[in-house]
A and B are shown apart, each in its own frame.
Chain A
Amino acid sequence: MKGFHGCYWRFDLSRNCGERIAIEDSVLRQTLGGVGLGAWLLHKEAPVGVDPFAPEAPLIFSFSPLVGTRFTTSAKFAVVAKSPLTGFISDALSSSHFAIAGKSMGVDAIVLVGACVENSELVDGRLRPSECWGLSAEETAGRLARFGRVAAIGVAGEQLVRFANLSTEGRHAGRGGLGAVMGSKRLKAIAIRGEVATEIANPDQVDQLVRRLRKRASGESTAKYSELGTIANVLSFDRLGTLPTRNFQASHFEQADRLSAENWHGRRAHKRTSCASCTIGCEHQFAFTSPRQSEESSRANGDQREKKQTRIEYESLFALGPLCGIGDPDVVLAAASRCDELGIDTISAGATLAFAMECGERGLLADAPRFDDPDSLLGWLDDIAHRRGLGDRLAEGSRRLAGAIGQNSIDFAPQVKGLEMPGYEPRALQTLALGLSVGVRGADHNRSGAYEADFSEDVDRLCGNASSAARAIETEDRAALLDSLILCKFVRGAFEDFYSDCADILTAVTGETFGPERLRSVGKGIVDLRKAFNIREGWRPADDTLPSRFLSEPLASGPARGARLPKQRLDEMIESYNLERGWSADGYLPASRLAEIFEERLAVPTSVGSGEGV
């Protein structure tokens, strides 16, 4: 099939050798690439019940049929592994020339298994002792640039911080601790390059479709991202009472104005850039003055604080700002920049710190970080990444920290399945509350866009019901397809008819006829596949829920004051969701489901689940 190479490169780090392994067309037709193909490879390569840090646990870089074409936002890849934070599947996307270089190797994916005998880098297809251990990912990429495009981890990945990320060209596969998986293999970086062209079935039609998508994606459908970036959410979310504040104790932040895109644009030095192959340009970088770190450093520098510039997204801003009670723009920007240098996921870092702050307030954790304390934030991030002092416990994430603290602190640990929650207050966005609860990655705003329903006039966002299930499913299925093709979700408004347009693109690239209904079915199959991995790894229905706080405490203040999400309501929504997916009421897949899709090629045990389920 055109658009693919029909194989993946499996490199065994223990043996320092790699081989190409064929992937059948039937698999590629059902999984496409990205998270779909990555999930299939994870099923295939990961031993059942494997420890995410064990050498046998695979780390997968999965490309897609559109990589290397000129479709806007198509230079993307998925990194897939069993998450050390959740114990379930983690699939994070990133955008960079790394994707194009990987596809140019003549493969559809790279699978790393085993572990290096010493700290190493994988360059030119061979391991060598690492010269970059201890450096940031950016510094590492600079050192290895002559070997091609680089994916690397920072100090946090080396230290097995469970929410360490993996970086390429300043973009991150951020969620779920994939950087820690790479660190557990003692692999600092992988540099790749190649010269193999990918055959396209119908180049003329592809050109036509490329132009059409670019045109549509240059208009109003993406203007929010190009004009303001995702930080435009801050003030709107605050007005709607959906801006999580001080560890979700409130949904309205009194200093939101100070952190708003509307205030920053025009008043703070700023530049806009794009990912590789992107015509939208959503990346907004803002200048900041690095906060003074210590008396010692200010003496050394004569109190001259450094001026820097960093990219910032809403999720980083909410997690390191309102969630920790911090409204100083310089501190929040510096913290986001520091997370990038250290190689940690900003959401999990901010949310774990915010949880520790509330534990401290409640007298459950000694010497804890404090809300509204901008002076100490950067120090805490360093402590986490280097696993120093209390930072060592914070590096385990909020769920494990709550487990260690006990005293019912898990009730207000802001996580689902161990993954820290993104910047959406679920009591005020109840379709998303469902999406977060059932997300296979954990609390996930990327694989479920259920908030799209809440931010519309079609639903009462403060009162979810059974009809929320269909809306959540629709956004999950679309996300599964976009994340496998792969195209950026920021073009989601640029399609005239989503499934038809995607089918046209895939047909022109591969030469296979992909109708809209077939693609819809592919999206659903990918959702099933990801869920099946979790079931295989011990998922139970009780994992699909929100922390007790959200189900027992109404919002006490702000525009959404009084909003509540009773457990019974959430449970009913989840049951509707499961049944509408064709699963059992408690969320198990019928035993026949994956066999239908994959002709029983996957070794998925049928003994787990509720009797007959997978």
Chain B
Amino acid sequence: MIEHVVSCLRPVVDEVIVVTSAELELPELEARVVIDGEIGGGPLVGIREGLAAATSEFAFVTSVDAPFLNAKYVEALFSLGAAAAPVSEGHVQVLSAIYPCAAWRNADNHLRRGSRRPLRLLEELDYTAVSSDSAVAWCESEGPRPWHGFNEPKEYLEAVRALDPTATVELEFLGRAANRTGPSRGRYPVGTLGEVLARAESSTSLTSGPSLIENGRLRKSHLVCLGGRALVRDLSIPLGPDELVSVIDALAGG
């Protein structure tokens, strides 16, 4: 998810800064990583660290759990030239908002006083409240709002399907799975990895040999690569629209 957020932001900002804890292992990112030394300090600590590290006048602050983050929305929010945040169903989206970078001192003062709510900081900055409808219009596409986070894969997939009932992933079989047919690709409706594999196996003759799924788990002999990067075996992972899913031999290597 963090890779999605970074790649979404890269084209519309000068620099992406990821604030993380020292314990967390991040994938390789086209971003500057800043370590937040105050574990468990809450989002305002992360905002302070990120703003302090930034060199621009304003920064867009987002959580990494934002699968529908939209570059046009971020650009439009920046164009307001001031602290700004969308308001949705009465809630100010403090983790999908613009902050002046100099406000890291304000954040620091809040924290010193024991105030850990980002909303208090935005209020102090006299932020511009953007209506949910306006923000959605900026996205130039229907669907879940750009700040929408999901706790469960199922919720995410429902949102994706609601947005585009025809959304598909691209699935390819390599190695033994494609031995008799040559390297093969097909498109299947979005779903969890397990759902997509099961659907592919039942609807095509692409795979040879035993089923890829055994006792509810991916067979040990195989491994799945997502987008050419992450290697996974967890069948509950949700696969988003146009994701490239490659089934390879687990014994990759010599």
Contact = CB atoms under 8 A, between A and B. Distances in A.
B176 A224 contact: yes
Contacts of A564: 28
Which of B174, B233, B249 has the largest count of A CB atoms less than 10 A from its CB? B174
A294 B100 CA distance: 70
Given A223-B221, A236-B246, A260 B26 contact: no
Nearest to B178: A262
B192 to A, nearest CB: 16
Contact of B231 (A223, A262, A457, A489): A457
Given A257-B183, A263-B183, A232 B27 contact: no
Contacts of B221: 220, 223-224
A241 interface: yes
Interface in B160-180: 172, 174-176, 178-180
Contact of B252 (A233, A262, A562, A563): A233
Contacts of A493: 251
A266 B233 contact: no
A239 B234 contact: no
A460 interface: yes
B175 A224 contact: yes
Given A460-B25, A465-B25, 14 more contacts: A232-B175, A237-B252, A239-B172, A239-B248, A240-B252, A241-B229, A451-B254, A452-B253, A460-B27, A461-B231, A463-B27, A559-B227, A559-B229, A560-B229
A89 B176 CA distance: 37
B232 interface: yes
B250 interface: yes
A220 B229 CA distance: 25
Contacts of A451: 252-254
A266 B174 CA distance: 15
Contacts of A225: 251
Interface in B229-252: 229, 231-234, 246, 248-252
Nearest to B183: A262
Interface of A: 220, 223-225, 227-228, 230, 232-233, 235-237, 239-241, 257, 260-263, 265-267, 314-315, 422, 424, 445-446, 449, 451-452, 455-457, 460-463, 465, 489, 493, 558-560, 562-564
B198 interface: no
Interface string B4-43: 0000000000000000000001111110000000000000
B225 interface: yes
A396 to B, nearest CB: 26
Interface residues of B, number: 36
B27 A236 contact: no
B87 interface: no
A456 B223 contact: yes
A224 B222 CA distance: 10
Which of A260, A262, A422, A563 has the largest count of B CB atoms less than 10 A from its CB? A262
Which of B25, B220, B229 has the largest count of A CB atoms less than 10 A from its CB? B229
Contact of A462 (B219, B225, B229): B229
Shortest 9 CB-CB distances between A and B: which pairs? A559-B228, A455-B252, A462-B28, A236-B248, A451-B253, A262-B183, A224-B249, A232-B175, A220-B221
Given A239-B174, A265-B179, A457-B233, A462 B251 contact: no
Interface of B: 25-30, 172, 174-176, 178-180, 182-183, 209, 219-221, 223, 225, 227-229, 231-234, 246, 248-254
B246 A239 contact: yes
A562 B227 CA distance: 14
Contacts of A489: 254
B228 A239 contact: yes
A223 B210 CA distance: 12
A583 B172 CA distance: 45
10 contacts: A235-B175, A239-B228, A261-B175, A262-B179, A265-B179, A422-B254, A446-B254, A451-B254, A462-B229, A489-B254
Nearest to B246: A239
Contact of B254 (A223, A239, A315): A315
Contacts of A236: 174-175, 225, 246, 248-249, 252
**A-side interface mostly:** loop
Nearest to A219: B221
Contacts of A315: 254
A263 B182 contact: yes
A235 B220 contact: no
Nearest to A562: B30
A240 B225 contact: yes
A366 B221 CA distance: 48
B249 to A, nearest CB: 5
A449 B220 CA distance: 18
Contact of B175 (A262, A266, A424, A558): A262
Nearest to A239: B246
A266 B208 CA distance: 14
B183 A455 contact: no
A315 B180 CA distance: 23
A21 B7 CA distance: 66
B254 A262 contact: no
A233 B228 CA distance: 14
Nearest to A263: B182
B25 to A, nearest CB: 6
Contacts of A558: 228
Contacts of A220: 219-221
Contacts of A465: 25
A463 B182 contact: no
A76 to B, nearest CB: 15
Given A462-B28, A559-B227, A563-B28, A235 B183 contact: yes
Which of A225, A257, A457, A489 has the largest count of B CB atoms less than 10 A from its CB? A457
A559 B254 CA distance: 21
A427 to B, nearest CB: 9
A558 B227 CA distance: 11
Nearest to B27: A460
Contacts of A460: 25-28
Which of B220, B246, B251 has the largest count of A CB atoms less than 10 A from its CB? B251
B30 A227 contact: no
A465 B219 CA distance: 28
Given A462-B27, A562-B28, A562-B30, A266 B180 contact: yes
B181 to A, nearest CB: 8
A263 B180 CA distance: 9
Contact of A224 (B27, B232, B251): B251
Contacts of B29: 562
A457 B223 CA distance: 8
A463 B176 contact: no
A455 B250 contact: yes
Contacts of A563: 28
B48 to A, nearest CB: 26
A233 B254 contact: yes
Contacts of B234: 457
B254 A314 contact: yes
Nearest to A236: B248
Contacts of A462: 27-28, 229
A117 B166 CA distance: 79
